[in-house]
Amino acid sequence: MVTRQQKIIDLTNLLNEKITVYPDTENPEFKVINTVEKDGFSEHRIKMVSHTGTHIDAPSHIFKNGKTLGDFPIDKFVGKAMVIPCQGRREIGLNYIKFFEEQIRQVDFVLFFTGWQEKWNTENYFDDCPTPTVEAALWLAQFNLKGVGVDAFSLDKIVPALKVTFENLPNHYIFLEKEILFIENLTNLDKLPDAGFTFICLPLKIENADGSPVRAVAMTT
């Protein structure tokens, strides 16, 4: 139950056919199947890949025998969270995130605010955004985190149309191997306090899900 003192902030981008999608990924399709005028009810058919819009990655996204989203208990997707501001940085280095060590120890989710949310649905969204260095990712993955999130397309650089490897997608490998989930394409991180809020990113309950769109929200006091 939400009390009068609590505030819910939507961290999810709107889904439609014209949204930003990862390079070489199909756009979602929304087709009207039934209408109120013709059939007495409205219904749409939706076609999209599992990593569309604001979404979450499971270990099975890159590991053959990795867990799917359905393998985790529901509380894996809810917890205390904090924001690390990264606007204007070229990379997110170890020395920088170490400043937040005490806060990190007290949360379940770390969200990186890069400012890329302002580029959503523009041709500049896939510019070279700040991402954690391998050294920083390895250090952060030692904490007992449920997930890491970002207001950009990824916490790794753009992968060319080649086979995914540790070399070109290192942070995915580092975090997902530890079953630390990825939440990508978040928005409104600028509206959050640095810490002291609850993060919720519930995926659709899909069998064998390697990823899923989520309705991500924050509850603040």
- Report the DSSP pairing between strands 195-203 and 211-220: antiparallel
The per-residue pLDDT for range 37-85, each reduced to its tens digit, is 999 999 999 999 999 999 999 999 999 999 999 999 999 999 999 999 9
The CATH number of 7-22+49-220, from 3.50.30.50, 1.20.140.10, 3.30.70.2740, 3.40.50.10490, is 3.50.30.50
**Which of 150, 138, 63, 143 minimizes the C-alpha distance to 112?**
150
> DSSP string spanning 131-164?
-B-HHHHHHHTTS--SEEEESSS-SSPPPPSS--
Q: What is the pLDDT of residue 1?
A: 53
The per-residue pLDDT for range 156-211, each reduced to its tens digit, is 998 766 677 888 899 999 999 999 999 999 999 999 998 889 999 999 999 999 99
Whether the Cβ atoms of residue 65 and residue 58 lie closer than 8 Å to each other: no
**Which of 216, 138, 140, 195 minimizes the C-alpha distance to 170?**
138
Q: What is the pLDDT of residue 205?
A: 95
Tokens of 77: 């997707």
Q: What is the pLDDT of residue 179?
A: 97
Confidence of residue 133 (pLDDT cuts 50, 70, 90): very high
What is the rounded CA–CA span in Å between residue 178 and residue 141? Answer: 7
Q: Which residue type does 197 have? A: F
**Which of 219, 215, 218, 213 minimizes the C-alpha distance to 58?**
213
The per-residue pLDDT for range 1-50, each reduced to its tens digit, is 555 678 999 999 999 999 989 888 899 999 999 999 999 999 999 999 99
Helix, strand or coil, per DSSP, at residue 32 = strand
Q: What is the mean pLDDT of residues 91-117?
A: 97
pLDDT at 120 over 70: yes
Q: What is the mean pLDDT of residues 214-219?
A: 97
Q: What is the pLDDT of residue 194?
A: 85
Q: What is the pLDDT of residue 167?
A: 84
**Which of 106, 173, 97 minimizes the C-alpha distance to 140?**
97
- Report the DSSP pairing between strands 43-47 and 29-34: antiparallel
What is the rounded CA–CA span in Å between residue 30 and residue 42? Answer: 13
